[in-house]
Structure 1
Amino acid sequence: MCAAALQDKLDAFKADFEAGRLAFKPTKDRLEAMHRATTELIASGQAQSAKKAGDVVPEFVLNDPDGKPVSSRELLAKGALVMSFYRGVWCPYCNLELQALQAALPEISARGASLVAISPQTAANSRKSQRDNQLGFPILSDVGSEVANAFGIRFALPDYLVEVYRSFGNNLPAINDDPSWVLPMPARYVIGSDGVIAYAEINPDYTQRPDPSELLPVLDRLRTSKAA
């Protein structure tokens, strides 16, 4: 079964981080800057204009960590597709989500669906993500977050947040091999084999993630409708 307490784990990490109980202790000013950036991204309304259920998925071809091209068309030819856009190996919230998706992978596979993660980071960092989180599904390299942009979820970090990230040692131009400070909003999609999005969850607050168990009824419906 998938991890039923993903949000509990995210909340616990956030509480420890903000209380200074972890090895890295953020200053009050840095925490306020992070909260401000999240509030501003929510207020922008960008998440509401992103690709949603009922939309046709933008086609893509992305490389896996070994440099092998993977196309959305080939994936959908096998059945339904679960996609998770995530920020990178440096993001502890993202790593907790990847672990929860890995726990749910047997349930997803049993329903005839594939699972991929998509990140702007380099192939080397994706290999590290797969290794550290013991993943049995591929991480695809979205250079420049171009596919994320096609889904409407790419955003540029404000200058004040760039400074906070630099202070944490999160040098995105090096991590992503891309001079622009852009990231995808965390998002999860389920796409039917017809290329139509059946489920979409986009949250500009990266500390909030839906539980993988939410995907299973969607996959069941797709499987039933395909068999009908």
Structure 2
Amino acid sequence: MTLQSKLDAFKADFEAGKLPFNVPPSVIRTMHRATAELIASGAAAGALRAGDRAPAFRLNDPEGQPVSSATLLQRGPLVISFYRGVWCPYCNMELQALQEALPQFEHLGASLVALSPQTAVNSRKSVRQNALGFPILSDPHNDVAAAFGLRFALPDYLVNLYKSLKNDLPAFNGDPRWTLPMPGRFVVGQDGVILYAEVNPDYTRRPEPDDMLPALRRAASVPA
């Protein structure tokens, strides 16, 4: 079963009220409105693309240890996934799919990291909850996400909805600003140039991990 098939099945159950918690139709309509407006804004067009140079970053893992993109790129190509946080079920399913694909990435000499704006405590929860074997890095204020063109501010009506659902992003992220990254996936070559980029303002849509393998094979000069 593909990652997107799993996401679609979860979304269908979520919107049909088949999960342990029942979500009112008004909440679903508000979420649809916010996604549609973000798509219509064209924000995704401002994200970095294949051929652009990736911004360098140095961020902390959940134990407070710095992880540098430059150091990782000395070893081989780098896969970077931007996600919203451990509170997002779609993100957790994506992280699990990336974990399953990790041996393929490593076989091609690549490293994998995932970035979110959440605090170290919540990053540790991401690792534990999803049984991850790759670094989860905290991106304070979504600054690295902004450098990749992914950061956006939530509209007031969505902030109010999140507050009503007790989804306190300032507490999750240790940041009073209500911002999130659009989910994004990048493959960066050792020269710092982006080889693959996929950004979608619809948080329920994520690329398959296998979609990155051709770029990783080119970077590693491995035939398909």
- TM-score in same-fold range (> 0.5): yes
Establish whether residue 120 from structure 1 lines up as the match of residue 128 from structure 2.
no
The 2-side partners of 1:166 and 1:24 are apart by 17
Question: What are the residue-to-residue correspondences of 1:136-151 with 2, within 5 Å?
Answer: 136-151=133-148
Question: Structure 2 counterpart of 1:94, which letter?
Answer: C
Question: Structure 2 counterpart of 1:183, which letter?
Answer: L
Secondary structure in structure 1 of the residue aligned to 2:113: strand
Question: What are the residue-to-residue correspondences of 1:30-109 with 2, within 5 Å?
Answer: 30-109=27-106
Secondary structure in structure 1 of the residue aligned to 2:221: helix
Question: More deviation in 137-146 or 156-165?
Answer: 156-165
1:169 offset after TM fit, Å? Answer: 1.9
Secondary structure in structure 2 of the residue aligned to 1:31: helix
Question: Structure 1 counterpart of 2:17, which letter?
Answer: G
Q: Deviations over 1:142-198 (max 9, x none)?
A: 000000001110000011111221222210000001000000000000000000000
1:220 to 202, 217, 221: 217
The 1-side partners of 2:21 and 2:89 are apart by 12
Secondary structure in structure 1 of the residue aligned to 2:19: coil
Establish whether residue 185 from structure 1 lines up as the match of residue 182 from structure 2.
yes
Q: Which residue of 2 aligns with 1:205?
A: 202
Q: Which residue of 2 aligns with 1:154?
A: 151
The 2-side partners of 1:167 and 1:216 are apart by 41
2:161 to 135, 159, 164: 164
Question: Structure 2 counterpart of 1:93, which letter?
Answer: Y
The 2-side partners of 1:163 and 1:100 are apart by 31
**TM-score (norm. length: structure 1):** 0.96
Where does the alignment leave 5 or more consecutive residues of structure 1 unmatched? none
Q: Give the CA RMSD over aligned residues.
A: 1.2
The 1-side partners of 2:155 and 2:2 are apart by 32
Establish whether residue 12 from structure 1 lines up as the match of residue 12 from structure 2.
no
1:174 to 133, 157, 171: 171
2:108 to 95, 107, 111: 111
Identity rate, percent: 65
Q: Deviations over 1:198-227 (max 9, x none)?
A: 0000000000001101111110011118x9
Where does the alignment leave 5 or more consecutive residues of structure 2 unmatched? none
**TM-score (norm. length: structure 2):** 0.97
1:49 offset after TM fit, Å? Answer: 1.3
Secondary structure in structure 2 of the residue aligned to 1:126: helix
The 2-side partners of 1:166 and 1:96 are apart by 24
